[in-house]
């Protein structure tokens, strides 16, 4: 089983590693390896630790978000929701456009006993509220610094906001229209088959298509769940805010960058990241960081800031979630084998 799992994730991890190494080599060449090492050697460990703890708190908030969204249909323990978060985060980080998380979420929720229609509905509503907050915060951040941005930064910010808004609208359309839902959910089914990280049985595939109408009905029922939607808006919003705060803390470890406009630029970096098609936004995220903070951060600090930021929000998390995902998957498979 271990050999089979390794074969399934070998290609995405290999491509992720290559892209990340290329990005790191470009950063060290652009900003100077010696300057970067000097900046990192004198960096206060407290800021690094605080930033990483803030990032880890995101997982707890996302676990709460999953519990809120799935609570309409079935009671899941916070530990089950945490497992869902870990698997979702890992598959997001190793797939282009962070597209692997949705299929992984559906499969693990199904393993926890939720039917296909409810899993789809809970996942899409949670994602919609997150993307809505992300779009709104990106729009407000753009308004705050638009006069200070160059053309490249403005275009990246606008495209990022438009992509996030299109995701919100897309989710709404999928939830309302059964025909479009069939096409989009069919895309997810084919994607699961193509990446081959998770095995999709024929009966599971049939159940997915059979439950599309139930999904549309369940999704539409969320319009009566105003308190639940408000709670999701704020929990997912705090989740995204912590992500931005991690970058803000890392940057302030190099000096006094405690400015609302600096924070607004960091928000725009993260709202624009979806325009990058690589696994975990590798390469593009680093480039966006340099684009939005160009001229505000010295070169040595810039290179070190990029590497330490990505270490906190990507490199360490992908290792941790990868190990935990393997453990979670093995436990679920063993439980299923014992049950049968």
**Tally of CA atoms within 13 A in the half-sphere of 246 that contains its CB:** 26
State the pLDDT at residue 337.
65
Cα–Cα dist 49/308, whole Å: 11
**In the predicted model, is pLDDT for residue 5 greater than 50?**
no
**In the predicted model, is pLDDT for residue 125 greater than 50?**
yes
pLDDT digits (tens, 9 = 90+) for 63-91: 999 999 999 889 999 999 999 999 999 98
State the pLDDT at residue 137.
95
**In the predicted model, is pLDDT for residue 4 greater than 60?**
no
Cα–Cα dist 134/241, whole Å: 9
Label residue 60 by pLDDT band (50, 70, 90): very high
State the pLDDT at residue 2.
46
How do the domains of the chain map onto residue ranges? 2-339
pLDDT digits (tens, 9 = 90+) for 158-215: 999 998 888 888 888 877 887 777 777 677 667 666 655 555 666 666 666 666 777 7
**In the predicted model, is pLDDT for residue 3 greater than 50?**
no
| DSSP conformational letter for 314 | I
**Tally of CA atoms within 13 A in the half-sphere of 305 that contains its CB:** 26
Cα–Cα dist 191/111, whole Å: 19
Query: Of 211, 193, 214, 212, which Cα lies nearest the Cα of 202?
Result: 193
Least-confidence region, from 10-14, 62-66, 250-254: 10-14
State the pLDDT at residue 262.
95
Average pLDDT of the segment spanning 37-41: 89
Mean pLDDT of the chain: 85
Cα–Cα dist 212/220, whole Å: 12
Cα–Cα dist 55/221, whole Å: 33
pLDDT digits (tens, 9 = 90+) for 151-160: 999 999 999 9
Average pLDDT of the segment spanning 251-261: 92
State the pLDDT at residue 175.
79
Least-confidence region, from 22-36, 203-217, 248-262: 203-217
């Amino acid at each position: 089983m271990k050999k089979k799992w390794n074969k399934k994730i070998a290609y995405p991890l290999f491509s992720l590693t290559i892209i990340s190494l290329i990005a790191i080599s470009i950063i060290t060449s652009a900003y100077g390896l010696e300057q970067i090492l000097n900046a990192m050697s004198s960096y206060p460990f407290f800021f690094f630790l605080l930033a990483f703890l803030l990032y880890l708190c995101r997982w707890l908030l996302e676990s709460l978000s999953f519990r809120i969204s799935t609570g309409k249909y079935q009671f899941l323990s916070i530990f089950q929701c945490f497992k869902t978060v870990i698997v979702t985060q890992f598959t997001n980080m190793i797939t282009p456009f962070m597209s692997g998380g949705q299929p992984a979420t559906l499969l693990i929720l199904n393993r926890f006993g939720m039917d296909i229609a409810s899993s789809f509905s809970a996942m899409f509503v949670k994602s919609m509220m997150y993307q809505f907050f992300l779009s709104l915060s990106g729009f407000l951040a753009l308004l705050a610094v638009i006069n200070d941005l160059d053309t490249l930064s403005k275009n990246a910010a606008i495209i990022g906001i438009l992509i996030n808004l299109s995701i919100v609208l897309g989710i709404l359309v999928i939830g309302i229209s059964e025909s479009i839902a069939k096409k989009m959910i069919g895309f997810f089914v084919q994607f699961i088959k193509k990446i081959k990280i998770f095995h999709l049985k024929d009966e599971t595939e049939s159940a997915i298509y059979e439950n599309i109408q139930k999904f549309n009905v369940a999704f539409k029922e969320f319009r009566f769940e105003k308190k639940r939607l408000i709670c999701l808006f704020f929990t997912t919003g705090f989740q995204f805010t912590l992500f931005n705060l991690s970058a803000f803390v890392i940057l302030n470890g190099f000096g006094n960058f405690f400015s609302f406009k600096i924070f607004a630029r960091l928000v725009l970096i993260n709202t624009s990241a979806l325009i990058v098609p690589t696994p975990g936004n590798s390469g593009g995220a680093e480039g966006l960081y340099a684009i939005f903070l160009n001229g505000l951060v010295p070169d040595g600090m810039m290179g070190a800031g990029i590497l330490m930021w990505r270490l906190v929000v990507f490199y360490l998390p992908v290792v941790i979630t990868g190990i935990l995902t393997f453990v979670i998957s093995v436990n679920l498979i063993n439980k299923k084998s014992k049950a049968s």
